Amino acid sequence: MDALLPMIRSADLSGPDAAVVSAAVGAYLRQTEEEKRREGLSPLPDGDGALPERYRAEVDDPAAAYAGFHVLLAEVDDETLGVVVVAPLEDEAEIKRLWTAPAARGRGIGSALLDAAVATADGAVRLSVWDWRAGAMRLYESRGFARVPSWDGRDRLVCMIRQDS
């Protein structure tokens, strides 16, 4: 992989991008569950790669799970290195998934995806992030996101909002 900036494009979930999104979101969710196990927050067995049932639809059928959402892919040299899912809400948008391939981290891919996700939104953008993901929180704060009282009752989940500019 080279140091080129990624191309960010909308995913076509009715075609081959569905499998790409499934793989990327699956990797994100498995990484998250593994981190939650290490932090003592997951009831799933260690290291088996299992996902909670509530996430299966996102991996099994992203076209249905993300109907009406903006799904963006980051590519370098035709290789998908990241994904972001943006859910439009009534008065704001919510970033639901932001993932960069581990080997590609630190190359601006997450930043490019975040900027593109914010650009799709009309109004404020909100997201949540686990408190042990300090690098992600620094990225969000550098893009104008601020911590706010939680809208989610899960322990150690930090909620953030970026007001529209």
Question: Mean per-residue pLDDT for 72-101?
Answer: 95
159 versus 154: the higher-pLDDT residue is 159
Q: Has residue 1 got a pLDDT over 50? A: no
Per-residue pLDDT at 77:
92
State how beta strands 124-130 and 92-100 pair: parallel
Per-residue pLDDT at 3:
58
Q: Has residue 65 got a pLDDT over 50? A: yes
Contact between 44 and 50 (Cβ < 8 Å): yes
Q: Has residue 44 got a pLDDT over 90? A: no
Give the three-state DSSP class for 100: strand
Residue 45: band (very low, low, confident or very high) from pLDDT cuts 50, 70, 90? low
% the chain with pLDDT above 90:
76
pLDDT tens-digit map of 85-99? 999 999 999 999 999
What homologous superfamily is domain 7-162 in, according to CATH? Gcn5-related N-acetyltransferase (GNAT) (3.40.630.30)
The length of the chain, given as a count of residues: 165
Residue 147: band (very low, low, confident or very high) from pLDDT cuts 50, 70, 90? very high
Nearest to 37, CA basis, from 56, 22, 51: 51
Per-residue pLDDT at 2:
47
Residue 149: band (very low, low, confident or very high) from pLDDT cuts 50, 70, 90? very high
Number of Cβ within a 10 Å radius of residue 129: 21
Whole-angstrom Cα distance, residue 71 to residue 31? 19
For the ranges 49-58, 76-85, 115-124, the lowest mean pLDDT is seen at 49-58
Q: Has residue 66 got a pLDDT over 80? A: yes
